[in-house]
């Protein structure tokens, strides 16, 4: 419904117009008490709309124009199940009884002597998920890849 840079541009233009209108109205009043209604009804909402529009444009630009597309659901699986030999990125480690697999240099397993290397079969068998901190390279399932 509201996708692309258009809504952000519209918000920024309307916000800028309200700021100019509020500034013009305030400039004609010498008494501070008479300036407050213009600040409250035009300038403050104008700044809010202008900021919202610029944020919308920044997010849309930073996302490379893909902010309006839903992300594809990805099921994680071990690389050998996807037909790749070994794990990308130099191997994985896991703590016995843990639920995550990590890169060897991950700060969550650094210094833990019980962290042991795991292969793709162990990742599958134990149902290990990728660590959200080190984000190890585990291949997405080919069935869910776009």
Per-residue model confidence as pLDDT tens digits over 12-43: 999 999 999 988 888 888 888 888 888 888 88
Break the chain into its structural domains and give their ranges: 6-62, 71-146
Return the pLDDT at 6.
Answer: 86
Q: Count of residues for the chain?
A: 146
The mean per-residue pLDDT over the stretch 55-62 comes to: 86
Backbone angles phi, psi at 131, to 5 degrees: -65, 135
Return the pLDDT at 143.
Answer: 43
Return the pLDDT at 134.
Answer: 86
Q: Model's pTM, two decimal places?
A: 0.42
Q: How confident is the model at residue 48 (pLDDT cuts 50, 70, 90)?
A: very high
Q: What percent of the chain has pLDDT over 70?
A: 74
Cα 39 vs. chain centroid, distance in angstroms? 34
* Measured CA distances, 7 to 22, 51, 57, 142 (Å): 22, 13, 9, 36
Q: Residues 75-117: pLDDT tens digits?
A: 555 444 444 334 444 578 899 888 998 888 888 888 888 888 8
Q: Residues 73-85: pLDDT tens digits?
A: 445 554 444 443 3
């Amino acid at each position: 419904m509201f996708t692309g840079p258009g809504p952000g541009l519209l918000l920024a233009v309307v916000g800028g117009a309200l700021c100019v209108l509020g500034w013009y109205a305030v400039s004609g009043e010498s008494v501070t008490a008479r300036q407050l209604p213009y600040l409250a009804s035009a300038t403050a909402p104008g700044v809010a709309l202008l900021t919202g529009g610029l944020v919308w444009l920044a997010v849309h630009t930073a996302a490379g124009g893909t902010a309006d597309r839903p992300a594809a659901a990805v099921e994680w699986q071990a690389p050998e199940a996807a037909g790749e030999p070994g794990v990308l990125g130099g191997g994985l480690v896991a703590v016995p009884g843990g639920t995550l697999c990590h890169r060897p240099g991950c700060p969550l397993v650094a210094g833990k002597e019980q962290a042991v290397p795991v292969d793709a079969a162990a990742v599958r068998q134990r149902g290990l998920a990728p660590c959200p901190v080190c984000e190890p390279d585990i291949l997405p399932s080919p069935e869910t890849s776009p």
